[in-house]
Amino acid sequence: MYSAQIEKFLKAKKISIGDRVKVGQYEGILMPRIELGDTSSLVIKLDNGYNIGVKFDKSMKKVKTEWRVEKPQAKTGVTKIVFDKKLPTISIIGTGGTIASKVDYKTGGTSASFLAEDIAKQVPDLKEIANIRAWQIMEMASEDMVPDTWVEIAKAVAEEINQGSKGIIVTHGTDTLHYTAAALSFLLKDLPVPVAVVGSQRSSDRGSSDTVQNVSCAANFVANSDVAEVCTVLHGSVNDDFCFAIRGTKSRKMHTSRRDAFKAVNDAPIAKIWWQDKRIEILNSYKKRNDKKVLVDGKIETKVALVKFFVGMDPDVLDFYKKYKGIVIEGTGLGHVATRSKLSLIPKIGKMIKAGIPVVMTSQTIYGRTHPSVYRNLRTLSELGVIFVEDMLPETAYIKLMHILPKARNVEDVKKLMQTNMVGEITERTEVVSSE
Catalytic status, residue 253: yes
- Residue 131: beta bridge partners? 89
pLDDT one-digit tens code per residue, 76-124: 455 555 688 899 999 999 998 766 555 554 444 555 555 556 666 778 8
Q: Are the C-beta atoms of residues 112 and 97 closer than 8 Å to each other?
A: yes
What pTM value is reported for the model? 0.82
**How do the domains of the chain map onto residue ranges?**
4-64, 78-296, 304-418
Task: Give me the catalytic one of 174, 176, 211, 232.
Answer: 174
Domain 78-296: assigned CATH number: 3.40.50.1170
Please check the confidence at residue 389 and state whether its pLDDT lies above 50.
Answer: yes
What is the β-pairing status of strands 262-264 and 230-235? unpaired
pLDDT given at position 101: 54
Catalytic status, residue 174: yes
Domain 304-418: assigned CATH number: 3.40.50.40
Task: Give me the catalytic one of 166, 253, 272, 325.
Answer: 253
Task: Give me the catalytic one of 19, 118, 175, 260.
Answer: 175
Largest CA distance in the chain: 81
% of the chain beyond a pLDDT of 70: 86
Of the pLDDT bands very low, low, confident and very high (cuts 50, 70, 90), residue 180 is very high
- Helix-, strand-, coil-residue percentages of the chain, each rounded to 5: 25, 25, 50
Give me the mean pLDDT over the 138-151 stretch: 95
Task: Give me the catalytic one of 79, 89, 98, 149.
Answer: 98
- Tallying the residues shown for the chain, one arrives at 436
Fold of the CATH domain 4-64: SH3 type barrels. (2.30.30)
Distance (Å, whole) CA 173 – CA 97: 4
Please check the confidence at residue 207 and state whether its pLDDT lies above 60.
Answer: no
pLDDT one-digit tens code per residue, 408-430: 999 999 999 999 999 999 998 87
Fold match, 78-296 / 304-418? yes
